[in-house]
Amino acid sequence: MTDYSRLREQMVQRQIAARGVRSEMVLNAMRKVPRERFLPQGQGVRAYDDAPLPIGDGQTISQPFIVAYMTEALTLEGGEKVLEIGTGSGYAAAVLAEIAADVYTIERIAGLATMASSVLDDLGYNNVHVRQADGTLGWPDRAPFDGIVVTAGGPDVPDTLKHQLKVGGRLVIPIGTSSWYQELVRVTRFSETEFDTEDLVPVRFVPLIGEEGWDS
């Protein structure tokens, strides 16, 4: 039988910590979440590959390092309320749920939302709330959020998401005009009207589809 716990520890040491992720909360979350449970049947053997993997409907589960990097970029301290746009398989939501008090996650594809919700429930992540909707419009009746993370690349930062941040909160999102290249950016809200944007690293994500993203 595959020793997934050993593979998880190797992943954390070789793929994540070795590349500069330092947050102990993030590293411990990556150690705990069983990534193999969030892949299609028969694909678990590849769960800890240093790569994104297909999960169906033209979507992917992100490379482990990118999940860890984006989570660390939110600078969570524990106990926050976080919004995730692009649930996918539910893996990144589970990682966030190991740190945050509540994770609200939106997936536009109904089948993926249903599967992710089922896996998260089976694993006991009762603090993850899944909705099938247009993620570019956020979750207004649960706003404001301490952190927002978007796991798809948009042409610009959706204005609606920026304004669902708490003052002092951070939004992490890939931005770019090409589906082959984006820049991961972090937006920090300083006041009701002031936002600061900083570039982090080049990335490649599936497109962010929605009213404030790309047309389907």
Residue at 71: amino acid letter = T
The question of whether 216 is a catalytic residue gets the answer no
* Residues 186 and 208 sit within 8 Å (Cβ to Cβ): no
Percentages helix, strand, coil for the chain, rounded to the nearest 5? 35, 30, 35
Cβ neighbors of 63 (< 8 A, separation 6 or more) are 50, 51, 52
Question: Choosing from 5, 23, 62, 178, which is the catalytic residue?
Answer: 62
**Residue ranges of E strands in the chain:** 53-56, 59-61, 81-85, 102-107, 128-132, 145-150, 165-178, 181-189, 195-203
> Which residues are part of the catalytic machinery?
62
